[in-house]
Amino acid sequence: MFESIIFSISPMTILVISFTVFLVLRMPLAFAIGISSVLFFLADGSSSFIIPIQKMVVASQNPALLAVPFFVFAGNLMNAAGITQRLIVFCSTITAHLAGGLGHVTVLLSAIMGGVSGSAVADVGMQSKILGPSMLKANYSKGFAAASIGLSGLITATIPPSIGLILYGYVGGVSIGRLFLAGIIPGILMTIFLMYTVSIIAKKRGYAASQKKAAPAKKIISTFLQCFWAILFPVLLIVTIRFGIFTPSEAGSFAVFYAMFIGLFVYKELTWNKIVEVLKQTVIDNAVIMLIISFSSIFGFIIVDNQVPQTLSQGILGISTEKYFLLISILLFLALIGMFMEATVNVLLLTPIFLPIVQSVGVDPVHFGILMMTIVTLGGMTPPVGVAMFTACSILDCPTKDYIKESVPFLIAIFILLALLTIFPDLVLFLPNAVYD
């Protein structure tokens, strides 16, 4: 009996230990996942080595995953086509009379650009470069600038189209259309909560507004018209997906054409050379994500083949079957793991394990998806390991400890919102239920 237990866990132990060692000692993530999974196959010895290859290929065959390169492409195009610049002007105009105006701009911009740029890290990187210098010029502290840009990137995790949600839908078998709709209200609430936080800090610090009065309606309308096509963009995506005109990946290809059309013929800032540059950028961005996805599917197979969720859920359900106790413990666990591991990897590796467990106690998979995405993305903005945090800090040349100090009020606001979203699932589910049923 004892022997058989050792036998049955040891390959899994090898997987977990080798993965941890690889991860800590900076092996590229994709290979850390791939190699530790193959080590499992070698140790286990009962499976054919053809399976890892089969599973790697399967990931590339899923039509839903085509949405990943498309939205990355569209996001990169928006930056190259001058769409992003116009959105910044619009956001600055409507927040010009608020204290700490540029802090509001970064929050609003993340909300409007949503996840078009694909990931929180891309969003934070782009805004640190474009907005960061003006914030420092306006005498904001480096820590505040980095923290507000870094943490407002969290909005992209839920506002559609979010690549994280696409991956969650893919791995968990959850409707991506529903997830997109479900992310809207939490995204808007997140925007409000973060803007409120910016206001409080700015008033305390005396960060001045750039002008006394709100911009006149005329000016707001004229800047709105200038970037009308850019603002229409997220709206079009949701509408076309919901009404069954496009699947999420088709909507992605539409987004690419749309951004190209606007850039070439409306704003006329896009050139053929720029498109080629963007294409190169996109192929690399896409490969980085997709290679991780491809290798993770080997890991995913090991999880299913060894019936890990079933075993784990028997153990966990043995402790308690109380819905909220389980949900909150799992979310806390995700927050902990999220502090150390990259968000997409967390979604790919942990969704197949935890989704069946929370579903068995009656948590809605769409609700869980929004909470999970927010939490694992937040992990990228906190110490000790946070790609978005490092991005903002390195571009703004800001010491991490200043970033950490200044991020506390934002984190408090985020945790309050997360608590609300957990306790009132309707905040998340209201929109998808109203539209789909």
Partner 1 sequence: MKYLAIIHLKMMKWEGNLAYLSLFLIVFLVFFAALLRLVGVPQAWMGDLSKILFAWVIFLGSDVAMNVGRHIGVEFFEERLPILWRKRIAQLWSILIVAFLSFITYYGWFLTQKSRREFDSIMVSDFSLAIGFSTFLIFCVAFDYFKSDQKNKKIYLAIISGIILITAYLLITIDFSHTAENISYSYLIASVPIGCILMIRTTFILFIKNWSLKNV
Partner 2 sequence: NDYTLKVSMSVGEKDPMFAGAQYLKTNVEKRTDGHLKVEIFPSGQLGSVEGVQEMAMFGQNVAAITDSGRLSVFSKEIGVIGVAYAAKDYDEMKKIVETDLFKSWEKKLEKEGLHVLSFNWFQGSRSFMTNKPVNKPEDLNGMLIRTPGSAVWSESISALGATPTALPWAETYPAMQQGVVDGFEAQLPATIAASLQETIKYVAETEHFQLMTALVAGEEWFSSLPKEYQKILLEESSKAGAYASDITNKNIADYKRTMEEDYNVKFIPVDKTPFIARAKTVFKKLGYEKEYKELQDALK
Q: Could you list the residues that contact partner 1 (CB under 8 A)?
A: 22-32, 34-35, 38, 49-50, 52-54, 56-57, 60-61, 63, 65-66, 69-70, 73, 245-247, 249-250, 252-254, 256-257, 276, 279-280, 282-284, 286-288, 290-291, 294, 340-342, 384-385, 387, 390
Do residues 177 and 242 lie in contact, with contact meaning Cβ atoms separated by under 8 Å? yes
Among residues 361, 379, 360, 362, which one has the least CA distance to residue 418? 379
Residue 55 interface partner, choices Na ion, partner 1, partner 2, none, CB cut-off 5-8 Å depending on type: partner 2
The binder of 17, among partner 2, Na ion, partner 1, none, by C-beta within 5 to 8 A per type, is: none
The reply to whether 104 sits near partner 2 by the rule CB under 8 A is: no
152 binds, among partner 2, Na ion, partner 1, none (CB under 5 to 8 A by kind): Na ion
Q: Give the number of residues in contact with Na ion, rule: CB under 5 A.
A: 9
The answer to whether the bond into 384 is cis (omega within 30° of 0) is yes
Nearest to Na ion of 196, 243 (CB atom): 196
Burial class (CB in 10 A: 0-12, 13-18, 19+), 6: exposed
Among partner 2, Na ion, partner 1, none, partner that 73 touches (CB below 5 to 8 angstroms by kind) = partner 1
Taking the alpha carbons at both ends of the chain, their separation in whole angstroms is 51
**Quick one: tokens of 271?**
């050139």
Residue 392 contacts which entry, Na ion, partner 2, partner 1, none (Cβ below 5-8 A, type-dependent): none
Only one residue has tokens 């709105």, namely: 224
Asked if 379 touches Na ion (CB under 5 A), the answer is: yes
Q: Which does 110 bind (CB under 5 to 8 A by kind): partner 2, partner 1, Na ion, none?
A: Na ion
Q: What is the contact mask toward partner 2 in residues 224 to 253, using x (rule: CB under 8 A)?
A: -----------------x--xxxx--x---
Q: Which tokens sit at 209? A: 């507004």
CB-based contact 55:298 (threshold 8 Å): yes
**Which of 14, 39, 43, 51 is the binder for partner 2 (CB under 8 A)?**
51
Q: Which is nearer to partner 1, 73 or 354 (CB)?
A: 73
410 interacts with partner 2 by CB under 8 A:
no
DSSP 8-class letter at 320: -
Largest CA distance in the chain: 79
Question: What's the helix, strand, coil split of the chain in %, to 5?
Answer: 80, 0, 20
Q: How many CB atoms lie within 10 A of CB 220?
A: 15
